Amino acid sequence: MFAHLSASLVDGLLIGFVYGIAAMGLSLIWGVMRVINLAHGATMALGMFCIYGLFTKLGINPYLGVPLAALLALLFGFLIYGVALHRVMQSGYLYTLLATFAVNMIIIGVGTTLFTTSPRNVDFSLGSLQMGSEILLGTRLVAAVASVVITVALYLFLYFTRTGKAIRAVSNNRAAAELMGISSTQVLALSFGLGTMLAAVAGGLTATFFPFTILSGGAYQLKSFVICVLGGLGNPLGALFGGLILGALEGIVPVFMPVSWVPVVEFGLFVLVLVVRPTGLMGAK
């Protein structure tokens, strides 16, 4: 029993790192732009299909395809911001919410036409690593390591580069940042692009160990909302911590009860955190 629990916990934590990357993009967009991005899950699905296409059509290693998917997603994020968000940014939360929801439905509609809703799978293996009685899949280990590297890179970018400091300045006080010569429009576009990029990267990594369809992003988007609340809305690094908590729950809960109870526990925790500590475990006051 203990060995099974330990293996499930480790497996859940490895997946939790990737969940954290997905939530990190959602949290970054909220923290800087105060926009709830309902197209986040659909962007994750596009990342999955991008890695799938590069692997099956061009024979590119999925992990070598992730940087290309990230670049395409960054440009796609700029496009979404310019077309759907820029003109409604000052109109209130409802307008930006509806704008991103419209983008979500467009992506799903076009994706369903192009790819149908048949499940796809990136049939790629990196073997496994045995640690005592536990067997760890190589794809999940690499995805977890990649997630940590991305988290460190994001932290260094936000805190030790001029552009990153500009993003944090706009997040803290947009009007004051503009008075200091920072173009808030450019910063907002970059922030949305980075959030979109993180979603696509998380989707690409997830595609290496789970089957997916164009509709798969919806479930991961809901998980990202739970993680953001756990870690603290607007705190990208807290999102990784929240991802580990959710991953651990997904590993432990099926050991004691049917897997259908997993979302019940997750969203029960979501409500509990909202009631007890609305700022999240690592959120600012």
Does the pTM surpass 0.85? The reply is: yes
Q: Which two tokens stand for residue 3?
A: 């060995």
CA 71 to chain centre: 16
In angstroms, what is the C-alpha Rg of the chain?
A: 19
| Distance, CA of 190 to CA of 169 (rounded, Å) | 14
Q: What does pLDDT average to over the chain?
A: 89
**How many residues belong to the chain?**
285
92, with CB counted inside 10 A (0-12, 13-18, 19+), is exposed
Nearest to 45 by CA among 226, 246, 194, 199: 199
Q: Which domains does the chain have, with CATH numbers?
A: 2-123+136-276 (1.10.3470)
| Distance, CA of 149 to CA of 18 (rounded, Å) | 11
Per-residue model confidence as pLDDT tens digits over 125-167: 888 777 666 677 888 899 999 999 999 999 999 999 999 999 9
Per-residue model confidence as pLDDT tens digits over 15-49: 999 999 999 999 999 989 999 999 999 999 999 99
